[in-house]
Amino acid sequence: MRIGELSARTGASRRSLRYYEQQGLLVSARSPSGQRCYDDDHVQRVALVQSFLAAGMSSRTIAQMVPCMTEPNMDRAREALTAMNQERNRLSSTIDSLAAARTALDHLINVNRKFLANVAED
Amino acid sequence: MRIGELSARTGASRRSLRYYEQQGLLVSARSPSGQRCYDDDHVQRVALVQSFLAAGMSSRTIAQMVPCMTEPNMDRAREALTAMNQERNRLSSTIDSLAAARTALDHLINVNRKFLANVAED
DNA sequence: CTAAACGCTCACATCGATGACAAGGGCAAG
DNA sequence: CTTGCCCTTGTCATCGATGTGAGCGTTTAG
């Protein structure tokens, strides 16, 4: 498939897909005329990249792990594992922060609910 | 206290504190010479703002809720509640995304661990 | 064959929170 | 009064992912 179809299937813009490739997150075969050619596997790959980007990973970090996403690579597996574990920790503590923020928000929501209820009573 | 001390106590840079004020996230009294004066309550307030910013809320969004953080305000309570609930949902789905990314990462980590173990066997 | 739709590269623009720096005023200790 | 440190406002720079548009080649349907 060409870039338009991959874009349609993944929801990533053509622009983003080219950017992913430029950053080494995605590899494409090229037609004789230079157009990018993808196969079905790339759909999942893009989904994974999107998931990681949405999680706040930088493309540099993802690029470090990507070589091991397709076929584990002995040379890079160790450093990739290090990066992955580091990111896993970062993710976990981010999740904790968000949960804390949500708790604080819940508190604010309750205070305001009660306030509105009191006003209604008067 | 003046801005330097608040900065030291909260970990937010002086620059950030001025920015928070400019965005309506923080209010300060001023000394006759124009210097910002804070009291202890502001430490908590800044912590809350930092927590929300770290959770990816825009300063505009936080500004919408802040008037109701100090003293509930009848005029704004309803719209603020709307914004708060909206943000709560956004937070929840962000947390879900991060959790999904972490699961995907765990999968990758396992694949690589096994690969390295197999290599070691040979 | 032609036109529409798609693809290519290159380069500049955008957003939001923050850093960095300039030019100047306020205040305490020597 | 001077020195040193803290404060003020204002402006320009930064980062990363993506939008946007120009200028030009390719593929496909009529």
- The model's pLDDT over B13-37, given as tens digits with 9 standing for 90+, comes to 999 999 999 999 999 999 999 999 9
Kindly report which listed range (A36-40, B19-23, B112-116) carries the lowest average pLDDT score. Answer: B112-116
Class of B3-121 per CATH? mainly alpha
The rounded mean pLDDT for chain A is: 90
Which residue, chain included where needed, has tokens 């708060």?
B84
The answer to whether A102 contacts chain B (CB < 8 Å) is yes
Per-residue pLDDT, averaged over A27-47, amounts to 95
Residue B51 CA: distances (Å) to CA of A31, A54, A71, B104: 49, 19, 39, 26
pLDDT digits (tens, 9 = 90+) for A50-90: 999 999 899 999 998 877 666 666 777 788 888 899 999 99
For residue A72, the chain B residues in CB contact (below 8 A) are 111-112, 115-116
The answer to whether B58 contacts chain A (CB < 8 Å) is no
Which of strand D's nucleotides are less than 7 A from any protein C-beta? 6-9, 16-20, 25-27
Q: How far apart are CA A118 and CA A111, in angstroms?
A: 11
Which long-range contacts (C-beta less than 8 Å, at least 24 apart) are formed by B16-24?
B17/B46, B19/B59, B20/B46, B20/B49, B20/B59, B23/B59, B23/B60, B23/B62, B23/B63, B24/B59, B24/B63, B24/B66
Q: Which of A66, A58, A75, A65 is nearest to A42 (CA)?
A: A66
Q: For residue B101, give the nearest of A54, A97, A99 by CB distance.
A: A54
Q: Which of B55, B61, B53 is nearest to B24 (CA)?
A: B61
* A105: confidence class by pLDDT, cuts 50, 70, 90: very high
Spans of all domains in chain B: 3-121
Across the interface, whether the CB atoms of A91 and B100 are under 8 A apart is answered no
**Percent of chain B at pLDDT exceeding 90:** 70
